[in-house]
């Protein structure tokens, strides 16, 4: 089982609970959603080559031909880990769970903590690899971002994910629909009111309206009425000009 990857590189985690940690990013091609604010090339079959950093943090890359085998990717990851300690490897995308059969082969060969960055809509695929994952950064996607409802998938996903070190991330735009925001809060609170919720002000792309500072405070206040730990964290890697 091979997979198309976009890139493998070492950088700083810019979002969520582990912001600031040095991580090794493995970015998979393709996504099952099409969010308005997407900042990644999320179409399958558009990357004949994967770029691999030559040394962790060097920002120098060499190209390798897609698709890659799990043993090849494991060799790159383990070489990076030998060269520099990383807090975790981050499986990102796109949507890495689209490649769950690949991950089932890859992850037993990797000697590191594994963080999964996911849109939280593929619970059956998560169930197949949950034992090989340590940290889960799960998005809740509001219907206005994707044009679709994913409440039931999110509910089932969170039920599985919460057995691990999991937190939920919700991207907030300036025109957020409050009914959907409330529904997202209820979904998380019903699963576990102790789960960390990150409110991430959207990086305004593709005409998406940014959220105002006072609006973010109001949303955090509302979320704190039903959840114990609610933090506002933007995409910090963009501020630092990191990858």
Residue 198 CB-half CA count within 13 A: 21
Contact residues: ligand SF4, CB under 6 A: 31, 33-35, 38, 40, 42, 93-95, 119
The residue (of 74 and 97) whose beta carbon lies closer to ligand SF4 is 97
Identify which of residues 206 and 214 has a Cβ nearer to ligand SF4 in the complex. Answer: 206
* Side-chain half-sphere exposure of 158, counting CA atoms within 13 A: 27
- In sequence order, the β-bridge partners of residue 8 are 26, 52
> In the complex with ligand SF4, which residue's Cβ is closer, 70 or 94?
94
Q: How far is the CB of 121 from ligand SF4 (least distance, A)?
A: 8
DSSP β-bridge partners for residue 65: 49
| Residue among 34 and 182 whose Cβ is closer to ligand SF4 | 34
> In terms of DSSP bridges, do strands 197-201 and 230-232 run parallel, antiparallel, or are they unpaired?
parallel
Closest separation in Å from C-beta 171 to ligand SF4: 8
Which residues lie closer than 8 Å to 229 by C-beta, 6 or more apart? 194, 195, 196, 197
Q: Shortest Cβ distance from residue 36 to ligand SF4 (Å)? A: 9
Residue 201 Cβ vs ligand SF4, minimum distance, rounded to whole Å: 15
């Amino acid at each position: 089982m091979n997979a198309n990857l976009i890139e493998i590189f070492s950088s700083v985690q810019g979002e969520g609970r582990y912001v600031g940690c040095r991580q090794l990013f493995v970015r998979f091609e393709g996504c099952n959603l099409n969010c308005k604010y997407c900042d990644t090339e999320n179409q399958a079959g558009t990357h004949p080559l994967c770029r691999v950093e030559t040394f962790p943090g060097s920002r120098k890359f060499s190209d390798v031909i897609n698709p890659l085998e799990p043993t090849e990717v494991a060799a790159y990851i383990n070489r990076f880990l030998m060269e520099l300690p990383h807090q975790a490897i981050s499986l990102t995308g796109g949507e890495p769970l689209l490649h769950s059969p690949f991950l089932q082969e890859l992850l037993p060969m990797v000697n590191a903590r594994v963080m999964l960055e996911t849109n939280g809509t593929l619970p059956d695929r998560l169930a197949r690899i949950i034992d090989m994952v340590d940290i889960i950064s799960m998005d809740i996607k509001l219907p206005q971002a994707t044009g679709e409802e994913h409440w039931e998938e999110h509910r089932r996903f969170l039920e599985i994910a919460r057995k691990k070190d999991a937190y939920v991330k919700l991207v907030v735009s300036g025109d957020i629909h409050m009914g959907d925001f409330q529904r997202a809060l209820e979904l998380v609170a019903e699963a576990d009111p102790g789960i960390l919720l990150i409110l991430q002000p959207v990086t305004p792309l593709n005409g998406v309206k940014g959220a105002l500072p006072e609006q973010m405070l109001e949303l955090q206040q509302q979320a704190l009425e039903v959840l114990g730990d609610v933090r506002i964290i933007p995409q910090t890697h963009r501020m630092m000009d990191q990858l």
